[in-house]
Structure formats: structure tokens, C-alpha cells
């Protein structure tokens, strides 16, 4: 009787295992907090990567946890950490959040895992804001690994420009005039989502002669003539030219679709929306940097890095690193770029046939890539969340007509300096 019960238990367990009801007890779970920041089938792509990896690594369970935007990922991670909950192994968060994350002891360095040989193949632009205490030559502690990286682009409907006898805007006057000329009752001349304004604002400020942040992590330049003029230009686009909706525009997620549908002649948006726009537009899509005040083309780096969460056990950290190595292989980074529009971050990936064929069919991706060398440093400082909130509050007040650019930027500078004083 005893042997019969053992046989029944064994057969039942084997049947459940065959049906997938019982999982291997030694499987290491690698959970990843991930933001959905652009209009592309990100969840389907990432689930496909997980399935492909697990097929080759039976002892690992890759679990994506989709959290909304970048701020949602960061807030959830910090909330889980403070509350003593189950931590993920990895999180994609803004590269610019590095100081806040390290100071909060929420992430740990990749230095124990990433070799010089592995890092040498990453495009240097992306690594430059992946180190804590970076001094320009790759030294410092490595906390971020580039994966979901992007820049700010000006997307324009080349067919509409041609029909109107207009050239691609090369400076602020031309951009405003073109946007005004292409505005109709059914179409905006230009959309610049500004409810989270610092990122799309930076190229305008740089194009007026002053980026809003220095090369250090404790200095910002808000109360500057160039920055003030850039903010005034935003206001002029709707007050003077009537070429864009007035006030604060909370349309980040909608703008690519509005552009592709013909409801906007131009938009300022992430390069991460390129694939979606190319797939949905029935016109010739042009891309460039944001025109400078007196000429030139300006952009700024952006997007997320892979962070290794602090407080996880060694086995989980090792499993996370093994997956990250696979995920950042050129074959995957090129596939990710092709499917989403985010940049391929590995230099050797541009030599793969898959990339060459894609770029030949879509020259906009190489035009976008060409801007990397001239991209300005993204807004990243100590206590970034607090400093950014000060800047955002003042920009939004200007856009809503509550104050003027000069007064707003003076107030933003005073507030930021007070926050950063403790780090100097």
C-alpha cells in the first residue's frame, strides 16, 4: 500500500511537471522594472526576449514588471526599498537619475561584473553619463549600462514643406515661420510636449548659446540670457505665431500619432518614437536636430540605463548580469533599435547585416545617429528630483502665463543653488 501511494505521488508530480504546473525549484527569478515611454510594442518585444533567453537558460525566470513611465519605475523601486518589500534584480531608469539612486543606496555598481573589453564596444556618448564621479576618461564607478537610449529630434513632414515651397528649418525664425505657414484649422504647425519640459527644452537653450547644466554635478545655468530667450521663444510660438497650442501641453504619448496622422506638421520628440512614426506615416518623414537660434542643429542625450538593484543576493545578481550581457549583445541591441527606434548602443552592431539593411531602407536612422557626436549633456545633477522640480515649476508657470521668463529663471536659479549648496 505504501509503495502504491509513492507511485501515485510520483506519477502525479511527473504529470504536473509535464503540464508546466510545477516549476523547477532552483530557478532564479530575475525581475525587471521597466518603463513604457514611447509608442511601440515594447511589452511584446521584451516578452519575446525573455522567452528566447529562457529557452537557452532553463534555470532562470525572466519577469518584466511594466511600471508606466521612468518616474514610476524610480518611485516604485524606492517605495519597495523603503517598505522592505521584494526587490527586483534590475530596473531601467533614467541615466540622469544616477546621483539620486546612488545616494539613496538603491543601486549597486557594475564594476564587479563589466570588463573593459565588454565596455569598449559601447558608443562613448552613452557611457559618459553612466558613471558616478565621471571625469571624462571613463573613470568613476559604473552604475548604468546603456540600453534604452534616445535623443531629442525634430520630426517634420517633408511633403508638406515641399508643397509649401519651404526648406527644412535651419534656425528659429525659419522654424517659427514654417510652423506658422503649415498651421491650418485641422493641423498644428508644431507640437512640443511640455508637461515634463526640461528634456525637450534643453536643445532650444543650447541652440541659444547655453545648456542648462554644466559638466559638473553641482552647477546649473537657468538665469542666463540664452536660456531665458529660449523660454520666450516657446511662448512666442503660440502668442506671436499661433503655430502651436498655448499653455502646457500634456501630449507626450499622443504627439507621434498626431504627427503620423497628419494632425501636426512637425513635432519635437524622442528618437525612440522613430520606428512607430515611420511605420504609420504615409508621407516622407524628415528628422533633424532642433534648429539653433542663429543656425546649427542641437540635440541632447536621454533615455534609460540598466541598473543593478542593491540588496539582492549574489546568485540573483549573477543571474541578472548574465541576462544583461545577453540583452546587450549587438544582435539584441540592433533588433531592439529596429523594432522600437531607440538607439543601438553597441558600435559593432552597426556592422551587422540586419542594421545595414534597415538603414538602407530607412535613412532617417543614420541621420538620427549622426547627431550623437554633437549632443549636449543631459540635465543631471545631485538631488536631481528636487532641482528638476524647481525648474519645471517655473517653466510651466511661464507657459501658463503666470510669470515671465526672466523672473521665472531667476527664481529657478535661486532655488536650484540653495538645493545644490550642500554638495559644494
Average pLDDT over residues 195-223: 95
pLDDT (0 to 100) of residue 175: 98
Mean pLDDT calculated for residue range 268-278: 93
* 277 close to 255: Cβ distance less than 8 angstroms: no
List, in sequence order, every residue forming a beta bridge with 149; answer none if it has no partner.
303
Is 153-300+377-423 in the same CATH topology as 2-149+302-373? yes
Q: How confident is the model at residue 21 (pLDDT cuts 50, 70, 90)?
A: very low
3-state secondary structure of 192: coil
**pLDDT tens-digit readout, 280-294:** 999 999 999 999 999
Q: Which helix (H) or strand (E) holds 51?
A: helix 42-56
Residue 392, H or E segment: helix 384-399
In tens, the pLDDT along 343-387 reads 999 999 999 999 999 999 999 999 999 988 889 999 999 999 999
According to CATH, the topology of domain 2-149+302-373 is D-Maltodextrin-Binding Protein; domain 2 (3.40.190)
Contact between 308 and 320 under an 8 Å Cβ cutoff? The reply is: yes
Strands (E), 208-278: 266-270
DSSP state, residue 220 = B
* Confidence grade of residue 135 (pLDDT, cut at 50, 70, 90): low
Asked if pLDDT for residue 316 goes beyond 80, the answer is: yes
pLDDT of 93 above 60 = yes
Instruction: Tell me the average pLDDT across 107-129.
Output: 95
Strand partners, 151: 301
Residue 264 pLDDT > 80: yes
Residue 331 has pLDDT above 80, yes or no: yes
Fold of 153-300+377-423: D-Maltodextrin-Binding Protein; domain 2 (3.40.190)
Give the C-alpha separation, 375 to 128, whole Å. 12
Q: Which of 293, 300, 285 is nearest to 372 (CA)?
A: 300
Segments making up each domain of the chain, as ranges: 2-149+302-373, 153-300+377-423
| Residue pair 202/379 in contact by the 8 Å Cβ criterion | yes
Mean pLDDT confidence for 310-320: 97
- How does the average pLDDT of the chain come out, rounded? 91
Percent of the chain, pLDDT > 70? 92
Q: What is the pLDDT of residue 20?
A: 41
Averaged pLDDT for residues 182-193 = 98
- As a whole number, mean pLDDT of residues 143-160 equals 97
> Strand pairing partners for 150?
302
Beta-carbon contacts of residue 8 (< 8 Å; ≥ 6 apart): none
Amino acid at each position: 500500500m505504501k509503495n502504491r501511494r509513492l507511485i501515485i505521488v510520483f506519477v502525479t508530480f511527473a504529470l504536473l511537471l509535464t503540464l508546466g504546473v510545477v516549476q523547477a525549484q532552483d530557478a532564479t527569478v530575475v525581475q525587471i522594472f521597466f518603463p513604457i515611454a514611447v509608442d511601440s510594442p515594447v511589452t511584446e518585444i521584451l516578452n519575446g526576449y525573455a522567452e528566447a533567453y529562457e529557452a537557452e537558460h532553463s534555470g532562470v525566470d525572466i519577469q518584466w514588471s511594466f511600471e508606466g513611465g521612468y518616474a514610476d519605475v524610480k518611485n516604485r523601486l524606492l517605495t519597495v526599498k523603503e517598505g522592505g518589500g521584494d526587490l527586483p534584480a534590475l530596473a531601467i531608469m533614467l541615466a540622469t537619475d544616477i546621483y539620486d539612486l546612488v545616494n539613496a543606496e538603491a543601486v549597486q555598481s557594475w564594476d564587479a561584473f563589466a570588463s573593459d573589453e565588454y565596455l569598449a564596444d559601447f558608443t562613448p556618448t552613452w557611457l559618459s553619463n553612466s558613471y558616478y564621479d565621471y571625469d571624462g576618461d571613463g573613470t568613476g564607478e559604473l552604475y548604468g549600462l546603456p540600453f534604452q537610449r534616445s535623443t531629442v529630434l525634430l520630426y517634420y513632414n517633408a511633403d508638406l514643406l515641399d508643397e509649401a515651397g519651404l526648406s527644412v528649418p535651419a534656425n528659429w525664425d525659419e522654424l517659427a515661420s514654417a510652423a506658422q505657414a503649415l498651421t491650418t484649422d485641422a493641423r498644428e504647425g508644431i507640437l512640443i510636449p511640455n508637461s515634463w519640459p526640461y528634456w525637450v527644452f534643453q536643445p532650444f537653450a543650447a541652440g541659444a548659446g547655453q545648456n542648462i547644466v554644466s559638466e559638473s554635478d553641482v552647477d546649473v545655468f537657468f538665469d542666463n540670457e540664452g536660456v531665458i530667450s529660449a523660454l520666450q521663444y516657446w511662448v512666442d510660438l503660440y502668442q506671436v505665431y499661433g503655430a502651436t497650442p498655448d499653455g502646457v501641453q500634456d501630449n507626450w504619448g499622443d504627439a507621434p500619432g498626431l504627427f503620423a496622422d497628419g494632425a501636426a506638421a512637425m513635432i519635437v520628440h524622442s528618437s525612440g518614437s522613430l520606428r512607430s512614426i515611420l511605420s504609420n506615416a504615409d508621407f516622407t518623414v524628415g528628422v533633424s536636430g532642433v534648429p539653433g537660434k542663429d543656425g546649427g542643429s542641437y540635440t541632447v542625450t536621454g533615455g534609460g540605463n540598466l541598473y543593478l538593484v542593491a540588496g539582492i543576493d549574489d546568485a540573483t545578481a549573477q543571474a541578472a548580469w548574465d541576462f544583461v550581457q545577453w540583452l546587450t549583445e549587438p544582435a539584441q541591441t540592433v533588433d531592439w533599435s529596429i523594432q522600437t527606434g531607440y538607439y543601438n548602443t553597441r558600435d559593432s552592431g552597426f556592422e551587422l547585416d540586419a542594421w545595414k539593411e534597415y538603414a538602407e531602407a530607412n535613412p532617417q536612422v543614420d541621420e538620427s545617429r549622426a547627431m550623437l557626436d554633437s549632443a549636449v549633456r543631459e540635465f543631471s545633477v545631485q538631488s536631481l528630483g528636487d532641482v528638476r522640480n524647481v525648474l519645471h515649476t517655473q517653466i510651466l508657470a511661464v507657459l501658463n502665463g503666470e510669470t515671465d521668463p526672466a523672473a521665472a529663471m531667476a527664481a529657478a536659479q535661486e532655488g536650484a543653488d540653495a538645493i545644490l549648496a550642500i554638495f559644494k
